[in-house]
A and B are shown apart, each in its own frame.
Chain A
Amino acid sequence: MAEGLKKARVVIREDECKGCGLCIAICPEGVLFEQKHLNRMGYHPAGYRGEGCTGCGFCFYQCPEPGAITVYKKGYVEEEVA
């Protein structure tokens, strides 16, 4: 058995983000932020500060884009990614 993730982590696919800001507004830890640069669609994509995600998933369920946000919780085993 591979060891799971030690810390939760959120991954944002910037290309799919429409910059609506709902994930940033909902994040209880305040670890998401609006990035300065523009993505291919002309939006300021959300970004993760790289620390502090608890894996609560609030952002995932606020984000309207099916693939824009992925949340890996503590204990998640990378190999599960098919």
Chain B
Amino acid sequence: MAKALIKADSFYEIYERKDGIKDVTHYCPGCGHGVLHKLIAEALDDFGIREKSILISPVGCSVFAYYYFRLGNIQAAHGRAPAVATGIKRVHPESVVISYQGDGDLAAIGGNNILQAANRGENITVFFVNNAIYGMTGGQMAPTTLIGQKTTTTPYGRNVVNEGYPVRVCELLATLDAPVYIERVALTDAKNTSKVRRAVRKALQNQIDNKGFSLVEVLSACPSNWKMTPVQAKQWVEDNLIKQFPLGVYKDLTDQIKPKKAEKQVFSVDGLKEKLNIPMEEEKYSTSVKEAKEFRNMKLKIAGFGGQGILLLGLGMAQAAMQAGYNVSWLPSYGPEMRGGTANCHVNISKERIGSPLVSKPTVVIAMNLPSMEKFQSEIEPGGLLLYDTSLITQKPVRDDIKVLGIPATQIADNLGNTRIANMVIMGAFIAYTSVLDKQAVINALPFFIKRKNLIPLNEKAIVEGMNYVLSSN
């Protein structure tokens, strides 16, 4: 041990950020926070890690911990210190991040944040000060307030019927797999205080060694809000708090755990576009098709059952048209629609800038089931096209002011061995009928929307069959 016990270097000499007297803390006489601060600061000094340590100050009495610790300081929202600690630790894995929290902060409003940070095994150190009361706001009930304990919000004593029981944080967190070290200690007599000192150092050392999540719960006196003298308050910790919150090690994998060293990320843009799957070169393909005038600004609505490949059909058209030099947009019906539900998408294909991606007056409706035909044929612009699957829709369309093209797409697909490529049969029929795209344009686009490469030849075959059906019927 050092030959002198002196104010640690990890404290600012003068607390410039503090108002008023700048060489004493804002803590009340006899408060446990100051002692824990000293033990932490001493450890940071002794380990030589002050310059790479980052303290997260919580909301509570220790909200101003950053006044005192000569470190990188971040002040967090109430209960969120473990989330903030997670963020900064992920950015600076080489740092030592301390989440310093009180009982209301950690065990009430931030309950899930500490649970999940512990469960992720964040390589951080948490110091949890439990004094069974809300100090900063003036003595209200904490999640750790003892049964029967009077506070300003339990003026008749904490009643389990109304307020439930004191929360034992160490016991709860110790059930998780990830935490490395969890211990409860108490700032009371010299013996217990030296255990706090050891626990503080161990919890920091684990982080330095990249072992993972450590939490030390420190039972601590709040003489002001308990309305006791500091000496009485220490005794009250011994006599009451420790009974409810037994001291001891709740989890310790320090000697078993293998360090997981997280490398600091190096910012690089090497090969970034490739990694992001951004195409480097323009797909050079200019369509040779003549633009049919009535389809110059093509607005499509494609509809059917989920599972018929409705969205993919629209996507394929948009992809092919884009590559062929058109402006396109594709808008799906989105959400929790599963197979068996309905699906539809809106596609715009135009040489001009596209306005509404939402197609309200389609020039083309592709219906792959009866409800879709019934629902959408009335919307088609006069002179527009209704393309439908006669394998599934036996009724005839009622409109007589539109073009109608029926094709037994599902039957043709079935003949090819897979009813799920009916959508590509439709694609073939569509391009053959409208000439908005030629075969090559669609073939070029296939690899962009058919993810399983081995299915491309079959899709190609379906497109050809669809085209042939139209061309042979003309």
Report the interface size for chain B: residues with CB under 8 A from the other chain. 37
Q: CA separation between A56 and B191, bound complex, in Å?
A: 12
The reply on A30 being an interface residue by CB < 8 A is no
Instruction: List, in ascending order, chain A residues with CB within 8 A of B190's CB.
Output: 26, 56, 58, 61-62
Instruction: List, in ascending order, chain A residues with CB within 8 A of B21's CB.
Output: 40-41
Contact of B7 among A61, A62, A70, A77 (CB under 8 A): A70
Summarize B's interface: helix, strand, loop or mixed.
mixed
Contact of B4 among A58, A67, A71 (CB under 8 A): A71
Would B24 and A41 count as touching, CB distance under 8 A?
yes
Would B230 and A4 count as touching, CB distance under 8 A?
no
User: For residue A19, which residue of chain B has the nearest CB?
Assistant: B29
Q: CA separation between A41 and B25, bound complex, in Å?
A: 12
B1 CB to nearest chain A CB (Å): 8
Interface residue ranges of B1-41 to A (CB < 8 Å): 1-8, 11, 21, 23-25, 27-35, 37-39, 41
How many A-B contacts at CB < 8 Å in the complex?
Answer: 99
The reply on B229 being an interface residue by CB < 8 A is yes
Instruction: List, in ascending order, chain B residues with CB within 8 A of A41's CB.
Output: 21, 24
Would A66 and B4 count as touching, CB distance under 8 A?
no
Contact of B8 among A18, A25, A66, A75 (CB under 8 A): A66
Contact of A66 with B5 at beta-carbon distance under 8 Å, contacts A15-B23, A21-B230 already known: no
Instruction: List, in ascending order, chain A residues with CB within 8 A of B4's CB.
Output: 70-73, 76, 80
The reply on B194 being an interface residue by CB < 8 A is yes
A66 CB to nearest chain B CB (Å): 5
0 or 1 for each of A41-62: is its CB under 8 Å from B? (1 = yes): 1010000000000001110111
Interface residue ranges of B32-58 to A (CB < 8 Å): 32-35, 37-39, 41
Summarize A's interface: helix, strand, loop or mixed.
loop
User: For residue B68, which residue of chain A has the nearest CB?
Assistant: A66
Would A61 and B35 count as touching, CB distance under 8 A?
yes
Would A64 and B30 count as touching, CB distance under 8 A?
yes
The reply on A65 being an interface residue by CB < 8 A is yes
Q: CA separation between A78 and B32, bound complex, in Å?
A: 31
A4 CB to nearest chain B CB (Å): 7
Would A61 and B193 count as touching, CB distance under 8 A?
yes
Q: CA separation between A18 and B25, bound complex, in Å?
A: 10
A9 CB to nearest chain B CB (Å): 9
Would A21 and B68 count as touching, CB distance under 8 A?
no
Instruction: List, in ascending order, chain B residues with CB within 8 A of A20's CB.
Output: 29-30, 223, 230
Would B3 and A66 count as touching, CB distance under 8 A?
no
Contact of A62 with B193 at beta-carbon distance under 8 Å, contacts A15-B23, A71-B4, A77-B3 already known: yes
Contact of A22 with B5 at beta-carbon distance under 8 Å, contacts A64-B31, A64-B35 already known: no
The reply on A32 being an interface residue by CB < 8 A is no
The reply on B231 being an interface residue by CB < 8 A is yes
0 or 1 for each of A6-50: is its CB under 8 Å from B? (1 = yes): 000000000110111110011000000000000011010000000
Would B25 and A65 count as touching, CB distance under 8 A?
yes
Q: CA separation between A67 and B373, bound complex, in Å?
A: 83
Q: CA separation between A16 and B193, bound complex, in Å?
A: 22
Instruction: List, in ascending order, chain A residues with CB within 8 A of B301's CB.
Output: none
Best-buried of B6, B8, B229, B231 by chain A (most CB within 10 Å): B6
Would B193 and A70 count as touching, CB distance under 8 A?
no
Q: CA separation between A55 and B190, bound complex, in Å?
A: 14
Extra A-B contacts (6), CB below 8 Å, given A56-B190, A58-B193: A18-B30, A20-B29, A61-B38, A65-B25, A66-B25, A70-B4
Question: Could you pull out 12 A-B pairs where Cβ atoms are within 8 angstroms?
Answer: A25-B234, A57-B1, A58-B190, A61-B39, A61-B197, A62-B35, A63-B34, A64-B30, A66-B7, A70-B5, A73-B3, A77-B3
Question: Measuring CB to CB, which residues of chain B are less than 8 angstroms from any residue of chain A?
Answer: 1-8, 11, 21, 23-25, 27-35, 37-39, 41, 68, 189-190, 193-194, 197, 223, 229-231, 234
